[in-house]
Structure 1
């Protein structure tokens, strides 16, 4: 059946493509945060281990919400490592960085996800796609707070 929610097909496509980039960034950040959770060492081990777990758990829920929004718009959600690697703006970690470098990378990555979400707001707002605007706003709030909390550990 055709989708008739008041948003023209081309605009739904643009929004879905932008959400695909957000999904790729979010999933890549999830993997990176989970990796750092497993491999962090040093005096901040317990603090970072727990913080990273809280963050990757939240990200796991977010990827589902973003993918479901793409589907509600009538388009397939990207779902493979290959697709994500072609869409993401997040750099993978190489090797096992020290704890402070993990924090710095995750701050940059959290802010990258905010920029990805923010870049999609004008299109979604213009066609009055309030569910996507709400999703984007919520994601930006989460990532800005996570970046702030991580940054606070650096002094």
Structure 2
């Protein structure tokens, strides 16, 4: 049992919020891997390399979120079935195998994660009294904001 100044009920609620974020991160990681493997077009090589950079970053973020859940004394969701039940994202590739299609979909997914995090920060901080996780979420959100900006720049 964790004794970190946050009651059990609040830690459980924060772990639930983080579990959804973990699912979103893992689904986006998988979709980015798909893009890396399956992109086609004249810009194949450069985009193939860029997508690898993106999924490497996402792998780190996935691990950070899972470890944050563990630091609260809870187990991280860790199955594809559970991730698909929790995520806000769809695992389907609806825009084709072009760089533009993959990038447009990634922008939507990063923005969906940004919105979810932004909507969660106040509850984590004020309602559940977990300033550490609120700060952690702000950092993850800023990473997604930067990535979404870079991806959007490819679409201009």
Query: Shorter chain as normaliser: what TM range?
Result: over 0.9
Q: Which residue of 2 aligns with 1:119?
A: 119
Q: Any idea what the Cα deviations from partners look like across 1:37-86, whole Å, max 9, x if unmatched?
A: 11111122223112211110011011111111111111111000000000
The runs of 4+ residues in structure 1 deviating greater than 4 Å are none
Q: Give 1:33 shift.
A: 0.2
Query: Within 5 Å, which residues of 2 pair with 1:33-72?
Result: 33-72=32-71
Q: Aligned pairs, how many? A: 154
| TM-score computed with the length of structure 1 as normaliser | 0.92
Contact map agreement 2:40 2:97 (CA 8 A) in 1: no
Q: Which moved more, 1:70-79 or 1:87-96?
A: 87-96
Contact map agreement 1:117 1:140 (CA 8 A) in 2: yes
User: 2:92, 2:46 → 1: CA distance?
Assistant: 20
Q: Which residue of 2 aligns with 1:143?
A: 144
Contact map agreement 2:104 2:152 (CA 8 A) in 1: yes
User: 2:31, 2:152 → 1: CA distance?
Assistant: 17
Q: Which residue of 1 aligns with 2:74?
A: 75
Q: Which residue of 1 aligns with 2:134?
A: 133
Q: Give 1:131 shift.
A: 2.4
Q: Which moved more, 1:93-102 or 1:27-36?
A: 93-102
User: 1:56, 1:17 → 2: CA distance?
Assistant: 24
Computed over aligned residues only, the root mean square deviation of the Cα atoms, in angstroms, reads 1.4
